[in-house]
Structure 1
């Protein structure tokens, strides 16, 4: 943490000396002057960041360029109270994973939207979330259930791509190359087809990466990557219909690369610099994603606007991984996801001096299925075998002796597992959000959402024993009938996990209110306090060992939040701060029932709370120099864990922390312009330790904190630039996850140096 502390200390010292510098800058014709207000749209109303009490971190095109941000994961690592989880599989907002914190349930707790379309969680690690030709990224921290509804209990991430110009033709191109044979070719171009009325923009990015983890069994690199991202946008503002605006977009992604996480072996010397894997099966993730969005708006009156947003997307994901990680053909997972999502929103926005807000209706439908084709090894359940023997007349000593001897012959039960799980989720909602100015300074905030959801979950499972049973005579002829009985019991356990096609339907209604108050103490200082309810929908989960569909209910939370917006020196220094507390109940967690390692399903059994804060600051220190810094802190705790009757889980969550919930996230950087056209950026981010597991023994799954420093230096003119960049300059060696028992870990990105060139026309 030392390098980041030094960087942030420098930023603080510069900020303290800023008044004189800012006065000097404001009096200089060449100074950057007052910072332009950032307009945020993630709450479906165009407001400045200063006017928005929600905790929103905004990533602008300037930040994307200066820090060479390539993927959404780069944004995760540079934002307060936002962090990666297991490899690239997801993220946490304020300590809450986008897929929930109790390893139960199917609904998301946070979502990523691209141009208004929600991206399925299983496509996040390689879907349309790269940063090329992106206009803005907004990270909304805290529940967004009133505005976003489904899958927004923790917050959301809104990505908006660049729109076509109606006035001039132009284009952008970029080439990146890194020392590990990573090559990225990016281009975008567009302009008016009909001047001031109809415009188009096309963009493309091709990424090729050799990879870092060399497979010494199969050859090649497990994390080699090839991807192609294509996007087209058309904007129409017909002069014959003043005020009408329509934007249609289509985004196509084809990605063939590593699995959503990649293990490297830790039982070799210098494994950070010599990253290898030994799996005999491919570890790959192939994603085909297609998104179409149509956004239409039209003013019905002077202050009233009608908007319609229609989105359709299809995600096909094929994920394969060698789960034993060895050269033996033992275990492997092969999953195929094929889902289609349709959304339709109609919204009325009203904006006057005293009253502003929106009313809307929303429809969401997701259909598709997951197909699993896996080979797994289940630890032979000696306690279950002993109980079988006791039920057939054996003494406790005999049952213990025979079950232990049998497990020595068959330590694991090899099983082939095929399952298909069709699913349909439909949600309809009415929502509203508004503000009423009681006085020139005091504003009331209110909102609501009524969600009605129907979901149907279907499952079919076929399991088969995939090995050789112990010879019935291995303990002698006297025990042969008993061993034969155990063999039949093992086959019975495998057979019990098979089930014919069966389904369940669930219906949920949720009312989600929001209330708050905002005070403008001066034109530059605003505080606000809000309270709102959020939820994560229920459903049904399959118990793999018993082949049963088990229903579970929604979970709910109340969130209390205070905010501060403060501008100094005509906008040369801006500070945003938030403090929050959340109380959560009926949380969906995984409960085990003792038959074997796959005897589990989702139940509502936990309650928890979390609290913390985030502070973000930006400062124009002097001509050509600006600083930025952020700090986030969150504390999470499971308050209770009450399992249903029959559960035998040894994992007690009471008093433990959420997985992948860093207590501290810090980031900071400096941008500088000097000489005739030289630019430089130095930035760093710190994440404190996290627990990668849950339960009373989660201390065994602790991953230490890390500080990563990055930089870029270049020369630019009005039309082109050349630059060099470095990621993880000091080659910080860190892990995201470690599985010591099998000597495997997910390792952080090493020091990487690259060069690039860009053209802007």
Structure 2
């Protein structure tokens, strides 16, 4: 048996060893036996009635496993994985930014109460889990229902609504050995009973950090954040059936960048993490989200819904890209985006026909301001070509270019750019199920999506150093060196451009069809086929200061599902199997002038296949266990660059980056007499490539297994607990920058203490 097999077996054995006769001191909502309602597909459906592969994280699981952020969910869900630090995630091996390292649009999105969160803010407070009602991970294309940026799937976070009947409150304090302190509170209740209620929640986090900077002092990954939320719910007696919910979420985060490197050329670098950068790497987020929802029954089985969302996200990312005590390179990027969405939807729930018809509008405006100091390796080949064009022989050109590079190994460049953008999307969509018989149903859906986007760029590049003395090879070669100096300055100047814009427009028709069969009340299978879409756009070539257009990419997804309950409902087993064919993928191509001569092109085709299995079982009134397994295989089948590209990497036959072949997770809960409870859980991920391309073997990180646990005591409204993350102190890397002796390291073993009150 493999190590992970032994681990999962031991988790299950530990669960079975707990006393089954122990008195249950509370009645938590669990994933076993209780009906879980999912809303990510725009309808309130039981999880067992949904053929889409959806993993649901409930409030009880968040409490049992002390889940703090959305990254905790990424690491505990089948076929879901965290990528480079906290930059994003993969679903079924597809990164939320796409598989080919090209393109502007996302391949998967995160929604909070219906508001899409910009990728630049995903590592901050908008996606933390305090006072969250449910997290749904929708695996596989959601383009028919979610539309924009959902080719790989989506993550839907729903926060808790106010109560209209009683006052409730929650508070929690968490403290870890690494001085990570979190203070959380929520309070709400009826202002007018059965008609008007409100809920307020707040979370303050202060984390000292664990990566000590031995150049500047302090800790690079220190963090402070404040997350505030207010919700108002109104069900007026004068309009029976009408429900209105308004919410506002304010997040302010100041802390380490979305990833932090630690030096790997230090002794015992896992347990004594240090950095040497002379400048701070910071990621500051200011996020404001407002959502207004209306629901009103037009008839007995027909409901009208409206969801309006607005969010503003300001992010500042500062990175010392060389990571050394010297002031060599640095990046200071500022993102400001405003997003407005409006959805109108009709839901019908009849005896034979159930479905929805909706209209969607999306507008995002904003810009990226870039301020960088970078070093570009001196292009000896380009210099040699310049010399040959001016009469030098091949041998002379090679000798002179090599000698010049010895004087100026890198070209220091000051690079400033502003990149405004505007994206508008309008769509009509529908989804329906029609019961041909009591058991057999047809599934169908469509989306017609129209997008207009406009990308603009203005850049200023300047030589930021000292050119070699023209006489360093003697007076005889001084004119040649002056010519090379002029050529170097010219290469830098070529990266400057006046304000230029490029507008694109795309139409996509995205159908879905399928069939579902309920063999018994507790056993259902389904098969669906649907088309997915990621829009095109324009990308800037930094070296040439050009906006280059690229086209959309499309995929077809074929999926089978199983939903089942066994042993009188005490055991649930759900599974999905899938195959996706993907064409016209957006990738990055290089064109030879220097390391910044690149832009997005449509050059790849690929496929992927795999499955997910999730099981939950109740082993009596005091013990329940759960497990999941995900398997994905990805492969680029075709790669054909356009004429003029000089890229040496051929993606054909390679795998997607950050696409683990296996993701496994398991856990057990036990409740003892006297108010004690325990949880143990583990998750495993196979090795992943951290870049795309044939040399990805040099950037592979090893498999890792992380075990966590919690032991608690509850009496009345109070609860005390201890918890541990990475119990076995697994030492692993998320990314290894070996040539620079830096790595993104996984979280170390961490013990913590918590207390909570619930009423």
TM-score by length of 1: 0.98
CA-to-partner distance for each residue in 1:658-689, whole Å, 9 max, x for gaps?
Answer: 00000000000000001210000000000000
Following superposition, the deviation at residue 28 of structure 1 comes to 14
SS class of match (1:483): helix
State how far apart, in whole Å, the 1-side matches of 2:10 and 2:525 are. Answer: 28
SS class of match (1:384): helix
The aligned residue for residue 6 of structure 2 is 6
Query: Are 1:674 and 2:672 counterparts?
Result: yes
- Contact 2:24/2:621 (8 A) holds in 1: no
Matches within 5 A, 1:136-215: 136-215=134-213
**Change in CA separation of 1:48 and 1:15 when aligned onto 2, cut-off 3 Å:** farther
- Contact 1:25/1:32 (8 A) holds in 2: no
Matches within 5 A, 1:198-597: 198-597=196-595
**Change in CA separation of 1:13 and 1:672 when aligned onto 2, cut-off 3 Å:** closer
How many residue pairs match? The answer is: 758
**Change in CA separation of 1:31 and 1:324 when aligned onto 2, cut-off 3 Å:** closer
Following superposition, the deviation at residue 441 of structure 1 comes to 0.4
The aligned residue for residue 117 of structure 1 is 115
Following superposition, the deviation at residue 399 of structure 1 comes to 0.6
SS class of match (1:404): helix
State how far apart, in whole Å, the 1-side matches of 2:567 and 2:25 are. Answer: 15
**Change in CA separation of 1:31 and 1:135 when aligned onto 2, cut-off 3 Å:** closer
TM-score by length of 2: 0.98
The aligned residue for residue 88 of structure 1 is 86
- Identify which of 681, 693, 696 aligns with 2:694: 696
State how far apart, in whole Å, the 2-side matches of 1:358 and 1:186 are. Answer: 38
**Change in CA separation of 1:674 and 1:341 when aligned onto 2, cut-off 3 Å:** same
Q: Structure 1 stretches (4+) deviating beyond 4 angstroms?
A: 1-4, 10-18, 24-34
State how far apart, in whole Å, the 2-side matches of 1:30 and 1:61 are. Answer: 13
- Contact 1:32/1:623 (8 A) holds in 2: no
Following superposition, the deviation at residue 316 of structure 1 comes to 0.1
- Identify which of 618, 625, 628 aligns with 1:627: 625
The aligned residue for residue 656 of structure 1 is 654
The aligned residue for residue 128 of structure 1 is 126
The aligned residue for residue 711 of structure 2 is 713
**Change in CA separation of 1:424 and 1:29 when aligned onto 2, cut-off 3 Å:** closer
Following superposition, the deviation at residue 163 of structure 1 comes to 0.4
State how far apart, in whole Å, the 2-side matches of 1:191 and 1:644 are. Answer: 62
State how far apart, in whole Å, the 2-side matches of 1:722 and 1:76 are. Answer: 26
State how far apart, in whole Å, the 2-side matches of 1:28 and 1:203 are. Answer: 27
- Contact 2:199/2:230 (8 A) holds in 1: yes
SS class of match (1:756): strand
- Contact 1:25/1:31 (8 A) holds in 2: no
SS class of match (1:350): strand
- Contact 2:690/2:701 (8 A) holds in 1: yes
State how far apart, in whole Å, the 2-side matches of 1:267 and 1:14 are. Answer: 40
The aligned residue for residue 665 of structure 1 is 663
Following superposition, the deviation at residue 490 of structure 1 comes to 0.0
**Change in CA separation of 1:152 and 1:29 when aligned onto 2, cut-off 3 Å:** closer
State how far apart, in whole Å, the 1-side matches of 2:17 and 2:709 are. Answer: 24
**Change in CA separation of 1:719 and 1:316 when aligned onto 2, cut-off 3 Å:** same
**Change in CA separation of 1:210 and 1:3 when aligned onto 2, cut-off 3 Å:** farther
Following superposition, the deviation at residue 170 of structure 1 comes to 1.4
SS class of match (1:622): coil
Following superposition, the deviation at residue 4 of structure 1 comes to 4.2
State how far apart, in whole Å, the 2-side matches of 1:63 and 1:27 are. Answer: 17
CA-to-partner distance for each residue in 1:253-283, whole Å, 9 max, x for gaps?
Answer: 0000100110000011000011111111110
**Change in CA separation of 1:330 and 1:2 when aligned onto 2, cut-off 3 Å:** same
The aligned residue for residue 609 of structure 2 is 611
CA-to-partner distance for each residue in 1:45-71, whole Å, 9 max, x for gaps?
Answer: 000000000000000000000000000
- Contact 1:202/1:232 (8 A) holds in 2: yes
Following superposition, the deviation at residue 721 of structure 1 comes to 0.3
- Contact 1:518/1:529 (8 A) holds in 2: yes
State how far apart, in whole Å, the 2-side matches of 1:258 and 1:396 are. Answer: 49
Following superposition, the deviation at residue 14 of structure 1 comes to 9.2
SS class of match (2:694): coil
- Identify which of 98, 101, 119 aligns with 2:99: 101
- Contact 1:32/1:624 (8 A) holds in 2: no
State how far apart, in whole Å, the 1-side matches of 2:503 and 2:24 are. Answer: 67
- Contact 2:458/2:498 (8 A) holds in 1: yes
- Contact 2:15/2:624 (8 A) holds in 1: no
CA-to-partner distance for each residue in 1:354-410, whole Å, 9 max, x for gaps?
Answer: 000000000000000000000000000000000000110111000100000000100
CA-to-partner distance for each residue in 1:148-168, whole Å, 9 max, x for gaps?
Answer: 000000000000000000000
Following superposition, the deviation at residue 31 of structure 1 comes to 12
SS class of match (1:53): coil
Following superposition, the deviation at residue 605 of structure 1 comes to 0.2
State how far apart, in whole Å, the 2-side matches of 1:239 and 1:596 are. Answer: 68
State how far apart, in whole Å, the 2-side matches of 1:528 and 1:28 are. Answer: 39
CA-to-partner distance for each residue in 1:102-125, whole Å, 9 max, x for gaps?
Answer: 110010000000000000001001
Select between 425-434 and 694-703 the one with higher mean Cα deviation: 694-703
- Contact 1:682/1:709 (8 A) holds in 2: yes
State how far apart, in whole Å, the 1-side matches of 2:439 and 2:7 are. Answer: 37
State how far apart, in whole Å, the 2-side matches of 1:242 and 1:334 are. Answer: 53
State how far apart, in whole Å, the 2-side matches of 1:275 and 1:621 are. Answer: 43
Matches within 5 A, 1:59-74: 59-74=57-72
SS class of match (1:487): helix
**Change in CA separation of 1:27 and 1:395 when aligned onto 2, cut-off 3 Å:** closer
Unaligned runs of at least 5 residues, structure 2: none
State how far apart, in whole Å, the 2-side matches of 1:171 and 1:380 are. Answer: 62
Following superposition, the deviation at residue 15 of structure 1 comes to 10
SS class of match (2:266): coil
- Contact 1:3/1:707 (8 A) holds in 2: no
SS class of match (1:697): helix
The aligned residue for residue 734 of structure 1 is 732
Following superposition, the deviation at residue 8 of structure 1 comes to 2.2
Following superposition, the deviation at residue 570 of structure 1 comes to 2.3
SS class of match (1:571): coil
**Change in CA separation of 1:29 and 1:492 when aligned onto 2, cut-off 3 Å:** closer
SS class of match (1:282): coil
- Contact 1:206/1:226 (8 A) holds in 2: yes
SS class of match (1:402): helix
Select between 694-703 and 519-528 the one with higher mean Cα deviation: 694-703
State how far apart, in whole Å, the 2-side matches of 1:32 and 1:348 are. Answer: 30
SS class of match (2:540): strand
Following superposition, the deviation at residue 126 of structure 1 comes to 0.7
State how far apart, in whole Å, the 2-side matches of 1:163 and 1:29 are. Answer: 22
SS class of match (2:260): coil
- Contact 2:455/2:501 (8 A) holds in 1: yes
State how far apart, in whole Å, the 2-side matches of 1:389 and 1:533 are. Answer: 53
